[in-house]
Amino acid sequence: MAEPAVTDREPVLEVRDLRTYFYQDGRVNRAIDGVSLALYPGRVLGIVGESGCGKSVTASSVMRLLPDLARIESGEILYRNHGKTVNIASYPSGSDEMRAIRGSEIAMIFQDPIVSLNPVYTVGWQIMEMLRLHRSLTRAQARTRAIELLAEMGIPSPEIRVDEFPHQFSGGMRQRAMIAMAMACEPRVLIADEPTTALDVTIQAQVFELIDRLRRDRDMATMLITHDMGVITEMADDVAVMYMGKVVETGTVADVLASPRHPYTRALLASMPILGRGRRQQLSPIRGATPDAYNRPPGCQFAPRCDSAMPGCVQQPPVTQLSATHDVSCWLYPSTEGNDDD
């Protein structure tokens, strides 16, 4: 599905018809099955969907940090910088080109800071390494900058904290330290994979505030992965709803949340509490379970759980452009231009 143009600026990162498959015991899991997304400078794209829909694999495809069992089969991941466009899907994961981009131009933060913070080095050392690797600063310059970054992320006594180890930081502070490290090289794209799920509500709000400030101040494009529509409402400008490796609906948050069209988006919204809609929301869980990823139904993946399913849903539905900023892939909205998805 093509991400609708939401601004007249060019996307800094564009994923086009990406397919990333897992191979296990002679079987194949089409974890990402023709995903297209666009990230624009200064905008937050939320990726939402139930567990296993492919949010994290999309992110690790972009970072070229896929597990050994997975392979990018086809598609493009276009990164634009100063008028130059490169297809990072074509770079081997360990290549110099990818190393130069990863962490420096495109940075990632995770739910668990332990993934990116090494317990055996001080927090400051790790930020300094990042700066020395990508920005060729001297030791002294890198240390000064590391202290500044910790201060910018709201870490108290940064000149002392810089010499402490990750285990000496509280959970919220570790999260901030990880963001400091991700921000060290002023990336143009930030991928945040459930960055606040493990944190309490106050710290969650602080981390989101921080990401929002960095987005504004640095015109950073952000991909925010979450299973929480409340987070999408609060943080994102645009949203892509994923189900079983496909984007089923995408557009601005205003479009998709105010008038959700895909039965899956509607079901997802009905199944979770939405911030600002009061305490007495009637929640109805989505019926059925997600199919076995190694044994997918033909056509629309949601059809077996969909109240509006029709016989034709055994075919993959076309992408229908509902407006300049709202696309859906569902047979309820047949495209006048024919099937342009698969």
Ligand X SMILES: Nc1ncnc2c1ncn2[C@@H]1O[C@H](COP(=O)(O)OP(=O)(O)OP(=O)(O)O)[C@@H](O)[C@H]1O
Which residue ranges make up the site for ligand X (CB under 6 A)?
A: 22, 29, 31, 49, 51-57, 67, 69, 227, 293
For ligand X, the closer CB: 11 or 54: 54
CB 305 within 8 A of CB 285: no
The edge-to-edge listing of strands for the beta sheet with 13-24 is 27-39, 13-24, 70-81, 84-87
Cα-Cα-Cα-Cα dihedral sign, residues 89, 79, 35, 291? positive
Query: CB 227 → ligand X: shortest distance, Å?
Result: 5
Backbone angles phi, psi at 103, to 5 degrees: 90, -30
Cα-Cα-Cα-Cα dihedral sign, residues 229, 230, 231, 233? positive
Query: CB 180 → ligand X: shortest distance, Å?
Result: 24
For ligand X, the closer CB: 130 or 247: 247
For ligand X, the closer CB: 66 or 322: 66
Please give the span between the terminal C-alpha atoms of the chain, in angstroms, as a whole number: 9
Nearest by Cα to 242 from 21, 48, 1: 48
Query: CB 245 → ligand X: shortest distance, Å?
Result: 7
Query: CB 67 → ligand X: shortest distance, Å?
Result: 4
Query: CB 166 → ligand X: shortest distance, Å?
Result: 23
CB 241 within 8 A of CB 330: no
E strand or H helix at 119, and its extent?
A: none
Query: CB 54 → ligand X: shortest distance, Å?
Result: 4
Structure-block tokens of residue 11:
């996307």
CB 49 within 8 A of CB 57: no
CB 66 within 8 A of CB 93: yes
For ligand X, the closer CB: 53 or 223: 53
Query: CB 57 → ligand X: shortest distance, Å?
Result: 3
CA angle 236, 229, 256 (to 5 degrees): 65
For ligand X, the closer CB: 110 or 169: 110
Beta strands in 40-151 (DSSP E): 44-48, 70-81, 84-87, 106-109
For ligand X, the closer CB: 54 or 263: 54
For ligand X, the closer CB: 22 or 208: 22
For ligand X, the closer CB: 32 or 328: 32
Backbone angles phi, psi at 162, to 5 degrees: -60, -30
The DSSP secondary-structure symbol of 179 reads: H
For ligand X, the closer CB: 104 or 265: 265
Structure-block tokens of residue 165:
């180890």
Query: CB 243 → ligand X: shortest distance, Å?
Result: 10
Query: CB 240 → ligand X: shortest distance, Å?
Result: 12
Note the maximum CA span of the chain: 67
